[in-house]
Each structure stands twice: as structure tokens, then as C-alpha cells.
Chain A
Amino acid sequence: MKILKTLEKYMEDPSLELVASGHRACQGCAEVLALRMAFKVLGKNTIVAMATGCMEIISTPLPITCWRLPWIHVAFENTAAVASGIESAIRILMAKGKIDKKWINVVGVAGDGGTSDIGLQALSGALERGHRLIYICLDNEAYMNTGVQRSSSTPYGASTTTSPPGKKSIGQSTWKKDMPKIAVAHNIPYVATACPSYPFDLFNKLKKAKEKDGPSYIHILSVCPTGWRIPSEMAIEYGRLAVRCGMFPLYEVEDGVYKMTFKPDTLIPVEEYIKGQGRFRHLTEKEIKEIQQRVNSEWEKLNKLCEITKP
């Protein structure tokens, strides 16, 4: 019942639709869904700094905007720095009595390229300085806005336009960069992974992030039917499969303590997640096995971290 009430509150209250409909996202885009869900939790007292990317392009063709929140886009690589400036301004303007003292969420939003590649330096600076801000990485595992080029967050073996498989290439030749762990290394109060296929988990994590008196980092897997080459109605399902096979575990790190927030009894084989996706179509059984082994060992490591950091 409580869960249903939460759902009702977040999904049916029109005053919480802060990312308005009418945007230009692709059919089945789970990224804009993640955005919509996140801002339902964060609410109206929120300022958004957003990187260049899909979500920026689909939401703000001048003179139209689908943002019912104060929103700024400056460039690709500097979202965390812009958010730092916003937070600093709020702090000093409140101290000087120029604006009312109230809780304002400062949120930086960027894609996986804007976070794990070009925006990493600015993000590290912002996390290290300890601003009270929430940074959301919407990870669709490639540069989708520019036409599906690989990022450091693209999974091993995936075909993208700049990591094409061929006689001498498996596709993406490197393993996905572990952004959440990089965030954890900054000793910030809260780091979490989430996926819009698990809305309550996502709601809870943003609620926690909102209450932290310091930086939080939320890494959201955002299924991209266009780039992953899957049917658009399968976006939610693929988010579930990614979590259930252990390739994208849902966990949080609160003050250094790791905790799984969704732990399947048994992991489904990664093959079930991989097989229907066009970006993995070229992979051989051997290569899928290699991925399975990697997922197993990463899963084990993560569980160990949960054990050893348990207070």
C-alpha cells in the first residue's frame, strides 16, 4: 500500500511534472524517463545545470523549453563547474540575506560522455570541493546525440559507429569505466546506481541524495533503443535484464558503506541481456563467455565491498 501511495504521489501529481511532455526524445527513450522520475523526487526548489547532449537537445529548442525548473546549459564538459558556481552563489546570497534561506537542490546532469570522458575533471573538482549538489549521470553507454560513438562507458564488445566490429575488431575493446567507484574515491556522502526500470529504487536514492549535506553522485543506466538497436517498447525490459544479469548492479555507497539495494537470488546469464541487442549481435559464444566471467568477478568484488564496509 505504501508503495502504491508513493507511485500515485510521484506519477500522478501533475505539479510534479517538472520536465514537461512535448519534448523531442526518441520513442522508448529511458533517459528522459529517468530525468522525469528524478525531478519528481527533487521537486520545485531545484536548479538544473545540464551538459550538452540528448536531454539538452530534446528539451530546449529556442524559444521553446520543456523545463518548469530554472535550467541552464553552458557546454559539454563543465556541468559540474557550472553547478559549483550556482551552489556558491546560493550560499553567499543567502548569507548576505539577498535571497530567502530555504533548501534549494542544485543538480548537475550529464550523459556518460559528459561525465566519464570530457566532464571528468570538472566533476572531480566539484566532488572534491564538497559542494552541496547532486550530480546525475544519465548513462546510455555511448555518444548517442552525435550518432552512437563509443565513450569510456560503452560496454566491452559493443558495436558503435567508432568502435565497429570487423576482421580485426571485436567492437568496443575496453571494459566499461567504473564511474561510481571513481565518485566513491572522492569520499563524498552518497553514491548510488539506479535505473528507471526500478522506479522505487530510483526514487529512494534521489530522496537520500537530496538530504545529504554534500555532493552526491547518482549513476543512472538509461536504456537507449536507438543506440542499442532494440525495439523501443523493450527499453524497460532491457533495464531489468541489465540489473538481473549483474552487468549493472543496483547499489549505493553511503558514507563509504556499500549496500546492494536490489539483490537477485540468482543472476540470469548475461547472454539473456546481450542476445537481443543489435549492438552485441556480432559477439561469439567465446566472447559472451568472456563477458560473463568479467561480470561474475565484478559482482563478487562488489559483494565483498558490501561485506567489508558493513559497519
Chain B
Amino acid sequence: MKRKGIEVSKAIAEAAKLARVEVVSAYPITPQTHIVEHLAELVANGELEAVYLNVESEHSALSACVGAAATGARTFTSTSAQGLELMHEILFITSSLRLPVVMVLVNRALSAPLSIWCDHSDVMAARDCGWIMLFCENGQEAVDSLIMAYRIAEDKRVLLPVIVNVDGFTLSHVIEPIEFPEQDEVDRFLPPYEALFKLDPERPVTFGAYGMPEIYTEAKYAQEMALVSSKKVIKEVMEEFGKRFGREYKVVETYNMENSKVAFVSCGSINENIKTAIDLLKKDGLDVGLISLRLFRPFPSEEFLESLKNVKRLIVVERSMPQGATNTPIFNEICALIFTRKLDLTVENYIAGLGGRDVLPQEFLELVVNPPEKDHGREYKVLGVRG
């Protein structure tokens, strides 16, 4: 295991190299660029045996991944915000065709106003596209998640695409000490991709036929079941990764939950500041926990409920606007669970960190000890917004 200080974007590219990706198809958009620039370099230097496809748009970036994955190649793409929106149509087709494409989504706010900075409005606008979605808190998680993503996506019981969410700038552009597994260890963990069905003249198959009303529901049901059942494989893969590489991940991570009656729920790099706030509160003798969603799709309902333990008050912090919905996406999922399982909990919804605005540990601390009023007539509070 090699450990070195490296920019997270470059580390992600190195992880893609360790995964021996075969077709890289991407279009530049800030803050994703450093990942694909480094991959282009690795291919140019002959360090990675792959085709680097300079496509003319994100729509084509993902479309080319679809074509390549259907032909049996291991594919990689990466994008942010507007790029993901341009891919939107193809996101749904990729998952419906059951192709194990893996994408690193460097989270960035959606325009307008144009912003290159981080929030989760991009992934949340695409949350129901049938992809498996993972979140990362730091660079090491990003590297490990990418390697695991291929193993999950290509598992014959899954065959679904995966998005690995990495917060733009706060994560993608920082230099972190990262442990890289050895190539032969990764090879043992992640064998070469063997497609169950592929575009092969020796064995012709039809991909992407259309469905009449008699069959469409069945096709979508089968796909939904595959996505729901993928959770079992995701957990298996995370466990095996832990055994092989010494860093075990869970679909729902918890922090200081043992004696906590109050807990935060969030995802992504913001969790590190929440943890700092939790540590400060602990010094004052107050136990507050954190439930971090590493897996967002399929939603890990059971694991989330198990993580609640003695919690009576949940503070859900999200980095996207509800866009006219009652609340933000994760909050809505949690409330549906609490209601259907008849749990006795209070749940608060805070929106913070939009368009790259920093949210400091002090602000999370405040939420615990001095919760603000909801915005007038709304079921949530947007933190720090100036009238």
C-alpha cells in the first residue's frame, strides 16, 4: 500500500488506471477537468492502455460509453452540473440497458446564475435515473469508491451504472494523503470485465428494443428489482474491500451515535465539518451523532433505520433547493420512512452550502443548541440567506 500526497482529482484518475478502464469518454467542465486531464496524460504516456475519446459534448460522452460498454469494454466518464444535465436523457437509457458504466460526478451547482462551485443540485436533479449513487467524504473514499464501483456495476447480479459523487473543489481540488492499493491487489479484487451480453457478430443480440404497453411495466419492474437488490451486492463488495484493503465502508456510516438523542443526516464532504461540530459539542458533554449516507441510490432504508438507535431528533442538512417541493430530496425520503414505519421522531430540514458557500462547524453547532425558525410559510430553513 503506497501512501502519497496528491490532488484528489489526480488520485481519482489514478484509481481509474488501477481499475484498468478501457474507454474514457469525457468532455471538459470545471471542476471535473483535472480528472480527465490526468487520464488523458496517462493514456498519452502509455501508462494506461485505453482509448481516450475526445467527444464534442457530454451527451456524446455518455453515449459513447454506452456504445463501448455494450461492446464489452470497461468505461469511465466524469462530469459536473450542466454536463450531467446534458447527459440527462442518456442517464436513464444507460441504466435501462443495464450497462455498467461508471461516472465520477464532481458535484457543482446548476446554472443560473452560473456557478462553478459545489452543491448537490446536479445529482439531485438526476436522482431518479436508475443509477447506483455513492457519496464520498474525502479523497481516500473517492479512490476506494471508484474501484468498488466497477466491482458493483459489473457484478452479474447487478449490471447497473454507478455515479460516484465527489464534491467540487472542496474535495476534487484539495491535496490529501491517499493510500493507493497495489495493482495486483486491485486486479485480484476486480477481474477483467466479461459482459453477459454484448455487441458481438458471433452472437448477435438486439439492445434497446422498444416496449409496447404489454411489456413496458414488466421491463421497468425487472430493472427496479435489479436496482433494489443491488444493495446486497454493494454491501458484500464493501465488506470484501475492507478485508482486502483494510478500509471497510458501510452504506450508511455513523459517527458518535451510541448515546446520541440528536443526530445530523447529510452526505458528502460537508460531513467532516459536521464531525468537527460534534467533537466540540462532546467536549461540552453533549452527545450528537451523524448519519452519513454513503449510498443514496438504492436508498438504504433498513440500514438508515438501524442507525437511528435512540435518536429522537434528526437534523437533515442538504445542499440543494427543494425547487417547489415540500422539502429537500433526502428529507422527503426519510420522512416517508418515519411515517410508514410509525416512528416517533422530530425531523428538521436545513438547506446550506449552495453554490460553494462554506458551512463552518460553528453553524452546525448552532443548529443543535439554538435551532432557527423555519422560513416563513415553508417546512425548511435556508441557512444564512440574506433577505
CB contact under 8 A between A88 and B201, given known A62-B212, A81-B60, A125-B60: no
Is A69 on the interface with B (CB-CB < 8 A)? Answer: yes
Q: Which chain B residues in 175-206 approach chain A with CB under 8 Å? A: 192, 198-201, 203-206
Contact check, A77 vs B59: say whether CB atoms are below 8 A apart.
yes
Q: Nearest chain-A residue to B192 (Cβ)?
A: A98
Interface residues of A in 41-83 (CB under 8 A from B): 44-47, 49, 56-57, 60-65, 67-75, 77-78, 80-83
Once bound together, how far apart are the Cα atoms of A56 and B206, in whole Å? 11
A78 touches B59 (CB 8 A): yes
B204 touches A62 (CB 8 A): no
Contact A86 B67 (CB under 8 A): yes
Q: Which of B22, B23, B68, B210 contacts A62 (CB 8 A)?
A: B210
Residue among B61, B73, B215 having the largest count of chain A Cβ atoms under 10 Å: B73
Q: Quick one: closest A residue to B219, CB to CB?
A: A62
Query: Which residues on the B side are within 8 Å of A88 (C-beta)?
Result: 23, 25, 51, 53, 64, 67-68, 73
Contact B65 A85, beta carbon cutoff 8 Å: yes
* In the bound complex, CA of A86 to CA of B67 (Å): 5
Question: Do A121 and B66 contact each other (CB < 8 Å), given the known contacts A45-B201, A89-B73, A92-B51?
Answer: no
Contact A61:B212 (CB < 8 A) given known A92-B73, A122-B56: yes
In contact, B199 and A62 (Cβ under 8 angstroms): no
Most buried by A among B69, B207, B211: B207
With a cutoff of 8 Å between Cβ atoms, the chain A residues found around residue B205 in the complex are 70-71
Once the chains bind, are B200 and A60 in contact (CB under 8 Å)? no
Does B201 lie within 8 Å of A89, measured CB to CB? no
CB–CB B23/A121 < 8 A:
no
Q: Tell me, in angstroms, the Cα distance from A73 to B209 when the chains sit together.
A: 7
Q: Does chain A have a CB within 8 A of B90? A: yes
Within 8 A of A (CB), among B209-253: 209-212, 215, 219
Task: For the complex, give the distance between the alpha carbons of A69 and B64 in Å.
Answer: 20
**Partner among A57, A80, A125 whose Cβ is within 8 Å of the Cβ of B210:** A57
| Chain B residues with CB under 8 A of A71 | 199, 204-207
B49 at the interface (CB under 8 A from A): yes
Known: A92-B23, A96-B22. A122 touches B60 (CB 8 A): yes
**Bound-state Cα–Cα, A69 to B72, Å:** 16
C-alpha gap A93/B52 in the complex (Å): 14
B292 within 8 A of A: no
Q: Is the CB of A74 within 8 A of B97?
A: yes
- Contact A82/B64 with A70-B199, A71-B204, A96-B22 known, Cβ cut-off 8 Å: yes
A73 B208 Cβ-Cβ under 8 A: yes
* Complex interface: chain A residues within 8 A of B68 (CB): 85-86, 88-89
**Chain A residues with CB below 8 A from B198, complex form:** 70
Q: Is A295 an interface residue, CB under 8 A from the partner?
A: no
Q: Are B206 and A85 in contact (CB under 8 A)?
A: no
Q: With an 8 A cutoff between CB atoms, is B89 at the interface?
A: yes
Q: Tell me which residues across on chain B come within 8 A of A86, comparing CB atoms.
A: 67-68, 70-71, 199
- Kindly state whether residue A33 has any CB partner on chain B within 8 Å: no
Task: Return chain A residues, CB-CB under 8 Å to B49.
Answer: 92, 95-96
Across the interface, B201 reaches (CB within 8 A) one of A44, A83, A91, namely A44
What's the least CB distance linking B205 to chain A, in Å? Answer: 6
Q: How far is the CB of B26 from chain A (nearest CB, A)?
A: 12
Contact A84/B209 with A74-B66, A74-B90, A89-B23 known, Cβ cut-off 8 Å: no
Asked if B219 contacts A89 (CB within 8 A), the reply is no
Alpha-carbon distance A83/B61, docked complex (angstroms): 12
Instruction: Please state if B219 and A47 are interface contacts (CB–CB under 8 Å).
Output: no
User: A85, B25: Cβ atoms under 8 Å?
Assistant: yes
CA distance A45 to B199 in the complex (A): 11
B280 interface residue, CB < 8 Å from A?
A: no
| Complex: A241 Cα to B140 Cα, angstroms | 67
Question: Could you say which residues of chain A place their CB within 8 Å of the CB of B65?
Answer: 85
Pick the contact of A89 from B57, B67, B208 — CB < 8 Å? B67
Q: Are B210 and A60 in contact (CB under 8 A)?
A: yes
B93 contacts partner chain A, Cβ-Cβ < 8 Å: yes
Contacts of B54 in A (CB 8 A): 129
CB distance from A212 to the nearest CB of B (A): 19
Q: Is the CB of A81 within 8 A of B209?
A: no
Q: Does A296 contact B (CB under 8 A)?
A: no
CB distance from B152 to the nearest CB of A (A): 21
Query: Which of B67, B90, B192 interacts with A72 by CB under 8 Å?
Result: B67
User: CB distance A81 to B207 under 8 Å?
Assistant: no
A104 within 8 A of B: yes
B residues within 8 A CB of A125? 55-57, 60
- A22 CB → nearest B CB, Å: 14
Is B50 close to A, CB under 8 A? Answer: yes
Taking the complex as formed, is A163 at the interface, i.e. its CB lies under 8 A from any CB of chain B?
no
Min CB–CB distance A225 → chain B (angstroms): 23
| Interchain CB contact (< 8 A) of A70 among B56, B192, B200 | B200
For the complex of A and B, list the 10 residue pairs with the smallest distance between their C-beta atoms, beginning with the closest.
A85-B67, A125-B56, A85-B64, A81-B60, A89-B71, A73-B208, A81-B63, A78-B63, A89-B73, A85-B68
18 additional A-B pairs beyond A72-B67, A82-B63, beta carbons within 8 Å, are A60-B208, A63-B209, A71-B206, A73-B208, A81-B61, A85-B25, A85-B53, A85-B71, A88-B51, A88-B64, A89-B72, A93-B71, A93-B72, A95-B49, A98-B192, A99-B72, A122-B59, A128-B56
- A-B contacts, 26 of them at CB < 8 A, read A63-B209, A64-B209, A68-B204, A70-B200, A72-B97, A72-B199, A74-B208, A75-B89, A77-B59, A81-B64, A82-B64, A85-B63, A85-B64, A85-B65, A85-B66, A86-B199, A88-B23, A88-B25, A88-B51, A88-B64, A88-B73, A89-B67, A92-B49, A121-B60, A125-B57, A129-B55
Q: Contact residues of B with A, CB < 8 Å?
A: 22-23, 25, 49-51, 53-57, 59-61, 63-73, 75, 89-90, 93, 97, 192, 198-201, 203-212, 215, 219
